[in-house]
Chain A
């Protein structure tokens, strides 16, 4: 049987990954089973006969490593089918949907807080690295301002957006952590 795939465009933000989960679960209910994530789009397989609960997990690690296999195996043992990964950071799992069931990967407050802190730390590191790159190139930028506006303006604008998003994400994750610790 030919499997029909569809793409849906949606910008998914790391600090809102629970919203992405909710979206994937709604799509599943409508018969679109998530298959693969991209930067701006997600691929689904049309299949009305199944329904799944999807969960996202953030773990750093190379999918080619032995440790990654151990990670996938443990989740599999716990009833989670591995679907795909995005950027070897975000990993998608699913299990067959059961009425009234809300299965979670992180079942206590401490481990969820630790997980949020890990995501927040990554955003902080990326922010500092990008800020470093931007500052290290200041001399170049200044030289470019004088005669290459067409290059200078878009590049700096992209950096500003990136830094802004990372900063926003960092604060958002901080708020989520505080909310949990209350």
Chain B
């Protein structure tokens, strides 16, 4: 695997896809709906962006194909996050937290 540090920062699409799959395995359509919900309607991922992102994440080993359970539509291919994928998300969240903290600190000290 590429070094985790080299994969950051993630684009919003990559980040949200991984976060969505962190919660539970899902199919493309489910991910799309999930992201729209998580972002309060702000991020609507286009079909092309999602399809190419899923293939890129598969190639990087951050997600894997997931066997479709019997009670689900067999037509829809499902995906699951890998342990590498979880590591990348943790690293990205740490990076975002640092940015947020630094910004907040600057705002507070700027008020004085």
Contacts A73-B75, A73-B76, A111-B13 given; does A106 touch B29 at CB 8 Å:
no
Contacts A114-B52, A115-B52 given; does A74 touch B47 at CB 8 Å:
yes
Count of interface residues, chain A, beta-carbon cutoff 8 Å: 22
A107 at the interface (CB under 8 A from B): yes
Q: Give A111 to B76 CA distance when docked, in angstroms.
A: 23
Interchain CB contact under 8 A, B51 and A74: yes
Chain B contact-residue range equals 20 to 34
A-B pair count, CB < 8 Å, reads 62
**Interface membership of chain B positions 42-76, coded 1 if the CB is closer than 8 angstroms to chain A and 0 otherwise:** 00111111111100100000000000000000011
Closest-by-CB residue of A relative to B28 is A74
B12 at the interface (CB under 8 A from A): yes
Interchain CB contact under 8 A, B75 and A105: no
B77 at the interface (CB under 8 A from A): yes
B39 at the interface (CB under 8 A from A): no
**3 nearest A-B residue pairs (beta carbon):** A105-B48, A107-B46, A77-B29
